[in-house]
Structure 1
Amino acid sequence: MYDIKWIRENADVFDKGRERRGLAPMSAELFALDDARRAAIAELQKAQERRNAASKEIGAAMKAGDSAKAEALKAEVAQIKDNWPALEQAERDAIAALDNALSSIPNTPLDSVPQGKDENDNVEVFRWGTPRAFDFTPKEHFEIGEGLGFMDFETAAKLSGARFVVNKGPLARLERALAQFMLDLHTGEHGYMEVNPPLLVRDDAMFGTAQLPKFREDQFSVTAGRQSSDEPTSEYWLIPTAEVPLTNLVRESILDEAQLPIRMTAGTYCFRAEAGAAGKDTRGMIRQHQFYKVELVSITAPEQSLEEHERMTGCAEKVLQALELPYRKVVLCTGDMGFASQKTYDLEVWLPGQGKYREISSCSVCGDFQARRMNARSRGPDGKPRFVHTLNGSGVAVGRAMVAVLENYQEADGSVTVPAVLQPYMGGLTRIARSV
């Protein structure tokens, strides 16, 4: 979220940033809203000052025996009192109009972000591993899972509808093994602290990381039932990613910069309505309403964030390298990057069943964009508080990692070889085959 003062001082930079995202200039519109806010505040202050002055004049008039003047002043005070609710409402409306406008504006891309309209303009910066040469036609993951008898979309649809799956037996264990392996790697080798956060959060938390208000339709909300007729219901949001609770752990706080960077990881279920994904990836586990993901979040001082972005992306890459999954690293263009991001790297894993690379991790640096929404600050050696920088990334999406393992490690007989690094988490199992 932006500071209107910063926009006034950097209007050209702000409008050029919007232009890079394919958006129209907006500084003039925001200045008009800010002028209206200032005018409403001034009008209320003017009325307050006049009410105070008139109250003093009433006392002086009564002391001087000028009852006519006193009565006129009393009438004036009464009129101000009558107008007061309207003035307060005008102030609230003007403040809300500016805040709503500011909260709907995406972050400004860094200069190093390539210009572009959509995913076709993303730029590949690195490629790791060589896709396996199969001597048979590789299948897609859902064909493999269903063939093994351990992946059930039909029953999931009966339980919950489309975009859900029931994994059983060794595939359920494979999903758990992947998550445990990732968490062990990030905590044991990469220095992240594991956190087990709530999966239900309030509006403020979703606003802080910019899921609200713009992306409301992509979220799942839940309402707790009433305990009694006198008790109000409680409304929550199911987290779309652990980025939400992890980043909000520092909301409304002032950190000691000696503590920074703070690095956290969590393995959680995530929930997304996928409102804009009609017709996309309708089969399989690529795009589901409920999925498991290991998230990485960093809270840094402003000077640390760009270096931390490279480090975080490298930590996600280590997961794919350990699993020996071919992937490529791309930097998203201005037209494809996320709302809160200043710059994003996507890691795309090779899926032989589809014959293409698909996203498995996004790592973004957000600058102070989220920190302003959360009022998360730090205090440096000079003692002055300033907004922290926030970063988030998938380390990685567990369901998509399982998809990649199934497709890259499939065999001609329908079985799947378990990657060496996962075998200890699978009780020594080296191969997943259909039970007879």
Structure 2
Amino acid sequence: MNQIKNFGFPNNCGKLCQIFRCLSSGAENNILKSINKEYLYNTNELKNIEENIKKRKGVGNIKLVVELKNKLSNLHRNDQKFAEITNQLIKELLLIPNKTHPNVVNMGNKPKQLRQVGKFPEFNFKPKDFHDITKRLNMVRTEHLGNLSGNKSYYLLGELAELEYSIIKYFTNNLLENGFELILVPDILPRSIIENCGMNTRGERTQVYTLDPNLHNADLCLSGTSEIALAAYLADTVLEYGNLPLKLCSVSRCYRAETSSIAEERGIFRVHEFTKVEMFIVTMPEQSEDALEELRNNQEKLFESLGLHFKVLDMPPHELGAQAYRKYDIEAWMPGRNMYGEISSCSNCTDFQSRRLNITYKMPDGFVEYVHTLNGTACAIPRLLIALVETGQDSKGFISVPNVLQKHMKGKSVIGKQKKIPELKLIKNKKK
């Protein structure tokens, strides 16, 4: 961890909380200082920015940004409208998405398949889906949870829970061996942190859980990915160029208010809470495209080592969200569902997040520039479990454990029926 110590990062909870408070209260003023003025305020870029917003299906209004900026330029700081116009300008600036990679901007609405990896699984029987396999083996409970956290929740039992932990150990160990540093992060974050990383926290379409402000003293939310807390950890930090790229990873619970009524997405495919191993890289601008390829290569090698068949996709503009400049998705074949399902992604966010969180680096001449940030899912447990269970099933309904995971499961090569934890059955109360 010497590399991290050399950066002068916050090394205690008090300092981290101080950063969160500063970001929550003073981020607005930083936005006006840190935005890319040569791009966003340039009238020659107006058409390009409008087209970029349209292709990404964003909600930003660059014409309104320029209009508000011009209004603000004609006002004195003591003018009663100065604060109001400033807040409006900041609000609109935060809605403008990142630029789009030139190889992606004209892609259209469909992703481009880059490659397929791994042998396509073949069976001499009709493969079952994850729900049917694990229900017969008494390994998952997704039903009758109304008395707990309700729909989109789940229990993993016995050896399937062991399989989750073996995946976490295997992926984390691999990242540590490849130069990543492990940081465990908080899952409750200020709304401003999440929004500065490019996620929407308001409205009916948000996937972010917000804590009740009447019960808590701050505007707090549950984190949907550890990328956000890792970025916040580096906020207001000046890094040395010689220490870049900086590679971090984390294991955390992720909370997302997702909904779906599609039959193929039943069970644990789309859930409200899950465990994820995340990769996060900070680079100089000229390093970020190579770093994105490194993230993708890490993902491909890890998933191939598990014996999965998957395809790698270069995603179109409307799939990039607000923050990504370019994004790759990996979709694994799920035989029981007879479909590919997304199990991972990685994104280059360039300076979109670093400008909002004030993460910079110092060059040899003393000049300070904004870093580029990248993130990638090493493994998101539920969907990876689906792909492993459906790919590893045999005709007897048992599950083969991938060779690389067996040492993390006390040498177990096959998962059978869970017998030690009782199988629960719903009992209806009879009316007297």
- What's the TM-score, normalizing by structure 2? 0.83
For the pair shown, which has the larger CA radius of gyration, 1 or 2? Answer: 1
Structure 1 unaligned blocks of 5 or more? 46-86, 227-231
Partner of 1:58: none
From the two aligned structures, give the one with the greater helix fraction: 1
Give the partner amino acid of 2:226: A
State the Cα distance separating 1:176 from its structure 2 match: 1.0
SS at match of 2:239: strand
Tell me how far 1:266 sits from its aligned partner.
Answer: 0.8
Instruction: Indicate the residue corresponding to 2:302 in structure 1.
Output: 319
Q: CA RMSD in A?
A: 2.2
Partner in structure 2 of residue 36 of structure 1:
71
| Matched residue, 2:101 | 110
What fraction of aligned residue pairs are identical, expressed as a percent? 26
Cα deviations across residues 4-28 of structure 1 (Å, max 9, x unaligned)? 4422233344234234335699443
Count of aligned pairs between the two proteins: 383
- 1:204 Cα deviation from its structure 2 partner: 2.8
Q: Given the alignment of the two structures, is residue 181 of structure 1 paired with residue 164 of structure 2, yes or no? A: no
In the TM superposition, what is the alpha-carbon distance from 1:306 to its structure 2 partner? 0.4
1:364 pairs, out of 333, 347, 351, with 347
- Displacement, 1:367? 0.7
8 Å CA contact 1:177, 1:426 repeated in 2: yes
Aligned residue runs from structure 1 range 139-178, under 5 A: 139-178=128-167
The 5 A counterparts of 1:281-320 are 283-320=266-303
Contact 2:119–2:307 under 8 Å retained in 1: no
Quick check: 103-112 or 14-23, which moved more? 14-23
2:408 — aligned with what?
425
- Which residue of structure 1 lines up, in the alignment, with residue 12 of structure 2? none
Q: What's the counterpart of residue 190 of structure 2?
A: 202
Give the match for residue 14 of structure 1: 49
Deviations 1:212-271 (A, max 9, x none): 456772111225996xxxxx6344211100111012211112111111111111111100
Name the amino acid aligned to 1:183: T
In structure 2, do the counterparts of structure 1 residues 213 and 113 end up closer, same or farther at CA, with 3 Å as the change threshold? Answer: same
What does 1:40-79 align with in structure 2 at a 5 Å threshold? 40=75, 42=76, 44=77
In structure 1, the residue matched to 2:393 is 410
Aligned with 1:378 (options 349, 361, 367): 361
Distance 2:59 2:147 in 1: 46
Q: What's the CA shift string for 1:93-127, capped at 9, x where partnerless?
A: 10111111111122121101153554xx1010011
CA separation of 1:114 and 1:212: change in aligned 2, threshold 3 A: closer
Corresponding letter in the other structure for 2:340: Y
Residue segments in structure 2 that go unaligned for 5+ positions in a row = 1-30, 420-432
| Distance change >3 Å, CA 353–CA 308, structure 1 → 2 | same
Distance between the aligned counterparts of 2:148 and 2:202, measured in 1? 30
In structure 2, how many angstroms separate the alpha carbons of the residues matched to 1:145 and 1:435? Answer: 9
- Contact 1:19–1:25 (8 Å) recurs in 2: no
- Give a deviation string over 1:407-433, Cα, whole Å, max 9, x none: 000011111011111101111111111
Counterpart CA distance in 2 for 1:33 and 1:213 is 24
Partner residue of 1:125 out of 114, 129, 136 = 114
The amino acid across from 1:434 in the alignment is K
Which residue in the other structure is 2:221 paired with?
237
1:92 aligns with 2:80: no
Structure-2 separation of matches of 1:140 and 1:187:
33
Give per-residue Cα distances to partners, 1:345-378, cap 9 Å, x unaligned: 0011111011121111110001101111111111
d(CA) in 2 for partners of 1:342 and 1:27? 18
The match for 2:232 is 248
Offset, 1:29: 2.3
- TM-aligned CA distance change 1:149 to 1:278, over 3 Å: closer
2-side partners of 1:244 and 1:251: how far apart? Answer: 11
Change (3 A) 1:25 1:403: closer
Q: Are 1:392 and 2:392 matched, yes or no?
A: no
Q: Partner residue of 1:55?
A: none
Q: Which residue of 1 aligns with 2:36?
A: 3
Change (3 A) 1:206 1:280: farther
**1:128 touches 1:326 (CA, 8 Å); kept in 2?**
yes
User: 2 CA distance for matches of 1:298 and 1:405?
Assistant: 28
In the alignment, which residue of structure 1 is the partner of 2:18? none
In the alignment, which residue of structure 2 is the partner of 1:57?
A: none
Task: After superposition, give the CA deviation of every residue in 1:172-192 in whole Å (9 maximum; x if it has no partner).
Answer: 11111111111011111x211
Where in structure 2 are the equivalents of 1:210-225 lying within 5 Å?
210-213=198-201, 217-223=206-212
Aligned AA (1:109): T
Q: CA deviation at 1:280?
A: 6.9
Q: CA contact under 8 A between 1:295 and 1:396: conserved in structure 2?
A: yes
- Letter of the aligned partner of 2:128 in structure 1? K
For 1:267, the aligned partner's letter is V
Does the CA-based 8 Å contact 2:360-2:370 persist in structure 1?
yes
TM-score by length of 1: 0.83
Compute the displacement of 1:39 (Å): 2.3
Q: Which amino acid aligns with 1:123?
A: K
Greater shift in the superposed pair: 205-214 or 388-397:
205-214
Query: Could you say if the C-alpha distance between residues 213 and 126 of structure 1 is closer, same or farther in structure 2, counting changes exceeding 3 Å?
Result: same
Q: Which moved more, 1:151-160 or 1:378-387?
A: 151-160
